[in-house]
Structure 1
């Protein structure tokens, strides 16, 4: 817990303790404490949780707490929002699918039913994998089993492995370059295309979806291909197809071939990786050096803060979301603090109404940096990064819409598991409101999000009790907002979420 937060909590303790005994407060009075009262009101925290923390520290709910116990209980409340227990089994079902999935529901889902229709896999093979996942030796008994969402995803991954084995066996059995390998390659492309657009071969693909195929996230991340090159290929194929800003499966095949040709022509493209890594390392080294020289009140920022923050974000990229670096986190915190009073910060302009700020927040935002311990522990925000096999985190974005009185938001976490892209999409409502902080006595802007549904793979579920994985984003303070940058603060004083605005069309391809 930071010194600043301790000071704020101590002031709150002194205020409450005046109503009870000197330097002691009761549990009932603790429930009236600023942050706790607000969390209880918003149903982000349960009284039973607080009572369990109280008993853990004091042995009984009737025992009053001194300042140290007050701090300890607050630390446990913070931990609910900022980190998961190391030994917790984070299941996919935790995201909302608690009732389980039957075999018939699984077989009726888009991708699976299409694989069966095209005879890429047999029902008997699926039943056998389903029974094995459920712990039955024979398929006849296992087909009646109900699996968790995580279990069904493992069966789905097993199907993909089986399809890959079929392709590998076909290639090994035919050494000559006949149409068979091409046919297998076509099946793989069809499978990738269908998986990317939701299982319909007749549907069309937009540019954002294409960027998640063909291992493009890795190729772009490693500098083996540039966004300019990919954008040029897209524009060429799209203009030839004449179907607007989308391509069909034939266009996807042409784009894949163009990518393959690029590597055949250009050969090695590894030289760009080192400079980017060096730049990221340089920022970390500079942040660490500045931290050593920092005064007790924190790091000092010299010069305009926003350009420094944007340059740093461009350098560290995904590492800034998943890799813990205390010196770099402190540096980001110092830059954010320095930006708060800048003229460009719409969140600090008293003359703007809530409606004006909501309109300014509308658009597509990409999470560029976070100091959240939850995110780093879970390898993402959904919790799926820990529970599914061989998961790679590709990014996290938020869409914010203002449709009259309807305020809608969509979180999209982009993952790759077992070589296949998986989007975790949460849809819900949001609200921006002025709240007087009982801790500081100052007015602050709070963005509340109420998740409604979650979609991942072939699953779509209503969220009845909130989504534990992204609870840290369900209530955040808006610290900074301008035309291309938004900074939110989580439940703890040192938890920041830095979003960059995503532009559309060609501008997005060049970013």
Structure 2
């Protein structure tokens, strides 16, 4: 029978000098214990280890000095090959006999001071009679692994340096590309340092892509439309030119073929247009290999994608419809034909309701001195009013102060569509809004302002037993004065009261930080805050800051939408009284 281990440690419980328990059997304490396999077991009683004794079996086996730091068994074998008869090892033995450590010290990869620090940190065997410190197998493994950790850290540092070099190379390439584009811009811009749409189309890079049908005219027009223009013009400056090229690059990806890189347009999903075909046919055309339809498969339904792109149907509306329809057996995100038909009907019903409303509406076309004006009902506006009615809940604070994230997302989507509609006076007048266009009494319908939500009102004066009851903004304008008054209702039973904030207001022309386009701001300067018998100066009333400076992004005869100048997701929607 051959043993592979060099050292076996047996835990024994000390029973006195004359006897001890060895694997449950009581034995006499003797200096030496002979085994049946010809190995010798040395036993030493030490006053520092009355509850533990180590037995070492001296056996012959092949040795190796190169072992992995995470191989505990191999490290024990390595230790047993060089430890003394007490199963311990000195510092000198560790340095001179363990060849891996000796070599690291000799070539300088492991510094002497590093080795000394690691040795000092390792627990020593408590032997007061020994001439020099010694370590047991546990400390040996700790030292071995600590040394190994040093070189792992070095490798990690090398990896970081390599990654940094790669990042620097990428940054240098990006800087070179940007510099090249800036040089190109100078060759096609006019004397004012601006580029027109025609000039951009005649740029050789774009012209070649258009001629080769790698870039569609509609794609070019869409990117041009979305590129920020220089303030007060329909031309782009160098920053707009760089932004346009970023959008252009996103249309293409690099495909490698035998060391050649060629631009390839991203794969487009083939569209299926129903042309009044029944839902079963549409389902068969867009269903996946499992004969089911998920949200990803709906991207192949061309009619639906057109609705989403044109704003007739909002992504969140589609998502809500999809989630409310029972899914196919065994899935939680796939529709069978029956489920798809239900989705089709839900979408169709949405537009049937709009058609009925349009039929009942009086679309009046009037001739005026300035031309022909069409009064068209705004579907987005109607849907906003319908939404506000549907979430009118006495158990929640009004004006969206306790709205859910999904509700806020839906309102933001509807407002984004509304702002682009033709009846928006901000668009019609190119931002030339007059005081008289805005003057009047306006009721706050909805806000996403985090400040108002935190304070549960505009003034922040809601008592513990009270509740915000609504807000009216009164804007007065005359030839010489422009006064504002906020009337905020605080409901607190018999102790209900109004908070009135007075001040001045004006309209200011500005440039949007986000789009670079011209905008008009409503600038309010509060003066006094009045509530009950109290009247205080409002210049340091922080909660009022939520409405002090806002961009007017939509305006018609009875609705006004304003956004924060530094956060476009902070909106205020007012209805004229």
For this structure pair, what is the TM-score category when the shorter chain's length is used for normalisation?
0.3 to 0.5
Bigger radius of gyration among the two: 2
Looking at secondary structure, tell me which structure has more helix per residue. Answer: 1
TM-score for the superposition, normalised by structure 2: 0.34
Larger RCO: 1 or 2 (CA < 8 Å, sep 6+): 1
